[in-house]
Amino acid sequence: MSLLQRLQKILAARGICSRRKAEEMITAGRVSVNGAVANLGDSADPETDEIRLDGDLLPTASDYVYILLHKPRGFVTTASDEKGRPNVIQLVDVPQRVYPVGRLDMDSEGLLLFTNDGDLLHRLISPKKEVPKVYYARHEGAATQEDVQAFADGLTLRDGTVCLPAKLEPLGPGESLITVCEGKYHQVRRMLASRGLPVTYLERRQEGALTLCNLPRG
């Protein structure tokens, strides 16, 4: 039985790029199926057809890799940076082209997953899946029960950004664990700052069932 899928969906599932970027690649004539240059709107069977990008075969499931990195401070979570800053790809030495799952800002540390498995990547970063992420934060001030309740109710930040209900667990003066199920820009830092608890150190310790454990930095 043929299992035809749109080419842009296949490229995204193989971890190559987003569907929109895949459409640009197809339009530019960079994708071929069984030796013929593909056109936008074409479909293929990902199991039986020979699909190439720039002449190279797409990775198959047997080529998928999964890497857990303890990101140190000072690295941006991008494949390249226009400002020339160190990026996390420089810390991952594998022959396959892999992508970070979500982001950690330059000043944050902790768990960062890399993969070329596009289906997994999109499942983990989709807000609809509500994959929990646990952060350890050191911050100014001490979190109160009012802060705990505000997180549980869902916060609206100063710029109008609405955050889903989250868990704030004070560990003592200036220390807390935060569990969120989203990945908005600088979300944990902004949530704590909105309660008068500006962050001085932030580390992601868990994402779904994956934990940082004793993995050394870098």
**Catalytically annotated residues:** 105
- Alpha carbon distance 45, 43 (integer Å): 7
Convert 113-144 to b/e letters by CB count within 10 Å (16 or more is b).
Answer: bbbbbbebbbebeeeeeebebbbbbebeeebe
- Report DSSP state, residue 30: -
- Alpha carbon distance 114, 135 (integer Å): 18
In this structure, which amino acid lies at residue 37? Answer: V
- Alpha carbon distance 202, 19 (integer Å): 32
